[in-house]
Amino acid sequence: MEFKHEPVMLNECIDGLNIKPDGIYVDGTLGGAGHSKKIIEKLSENGLLIGIDRDEEALKEASERLKEYKNVKFIHGNHDDIRTLLKNIEIEKVDGILLDLGVSSYQLDEKTRGFSYMGEATLDMRMDKSQELTAKEVVNTYSKEELINILEEYGEERFSKQIATNIVKQREKSLIETTSELVEIIKRSIPISKQKDGHPAKRTFQAIRIEVNDEIKPLFNTIKNSIELLKPQGRLCVITFHSLEDRLVKKAFKEAEGICTCPNDLPYCICGCKSQGKVINKKPIIAQKEELERNTRSKSAKLRIFEKK
């Protein structure tokens, strides 16, 4: 299948990174290299682009798209391990990092990967196909209480209890193995009158995908580690696609910026507050109207930018 990919808020990300021609930049979610292609075009031969992705198919496609460039390194790994991954290639500090969180357009479109609630596929949802945990295992082995918690926390699903109950009932008869089987269970669990706001399976599939790929738990520390890896005036750009991600990024940025707890009437700080830098945009950047009309994936996207002190 052709690896189709339109990078979200491309120009906004490039502007946000404030690229130096001789700098070192990390695309921690390389995907189809849409953002990376623009980054490397702005680098001199002395600059370096490091592309990280847990999906080997994405890495293969990206290396083909960037084959004319010599100043790029490709790493198969998880951006949550960014500190270790950069240490392994003897990189201590970088000038900029981009994290485009969530699932890629290719992964959604490639039906065999099991990310999409449209069509028929084996329940998989692994971004890194070398890992063991799959959506099939989550759906068929997690307890009812665990399923409810996942659907509520990661999917903000109002009908989590009904969906989890019906999943457990169905798997007692036979294993739930395909995306279409899961979709039918979800549809039976949500009143018809409440199925008008988008596809009824959207929130459940998002929640299970997040659990399979452990997208939320490490995120706060990933943001903190990324900021620590930046050189002075280096920038971190993070694109989120749902509220839970965005809240964590906002919280990590705020903590890195430093929160003084001293009373206002004190002439100087005594709480020991230390700032690592500043948040460039207090409100998240969202896609322009033209992009929103052209690229549906950009509709829920929010971009936040942090600059190292």
Cite the residue boundaries of each domain of the chain with CATH code 1.10.150.170: 119-213
What confidence score (pLDDT) does residue 1 get? 46
Angle at 96 between CA 92 and CA 102, to 5 degrees: 110
Does residue 103 contact residue 58 with C-beta atoms inside 8 Å? no
Architecture of domain 119-213: Orthogonal Bundle (1.10)
* The two three-digit tokens of residue 204, written as one number: 């459940």
pLDDT tens per residue, range 130-169: 999 999 999 999 999 999 999 999 999 999 999 999 999 9
Does residue 103 contact residue 115 with C-beta atoms inside 8 Å? yes
Does residue 24 contact residue 98 with C-beta atoms inside 8 Å? no
Q: pTM for the complete prediction? A: 0.93
Classify residue 113 by burial, with Cβ atoms within 10 Å: 0-12, 13-18, 19+: buried
Cite the residue boundaries of each domain of the chain with CATH code 3.40.50.150: 10-102+216-308
Q: How would residue 2 be classed by pLDDT, with cut points 50, 70 and 90? A: low
CATH of domain 10-102+216-308: 3.40.50.150
pLDDT tens per residue, range 92-119: 999 999 999 978 766 776 778 999 999 8
- pLDDT higher than 90, residue 71: yes
Nearest CA to 244 among 272, 275, 217? 217
Instruction: Give dist(CA 256, CA 92) in Å, integer.
Output: 19
**Three-class SS of 103-118:** CCHHHHHCHHHCCCCC
Q: How would residue 267 be classed by pLDDT, with cut points 50, 70 and 90? A: confident
User: How many CB atoms lie under 10 A from the CB of residue 252?
Assistant: 23
The kind and range of the H/E element at 51 are strand 48-53
The DSSP annotation for 60-114 comes to HHHHHHTTT-SSEEEEES-GGGHHHHHHHTT---EEEEEEE-S--HHHHH-GGGS
Q: How would residue 55 be classed by pLDDT, with cut points 50, 70 and 90? A: very high
E strand spans, 141-265:
230-240
What confidence score (pLDDT) does residue 3 get? 55
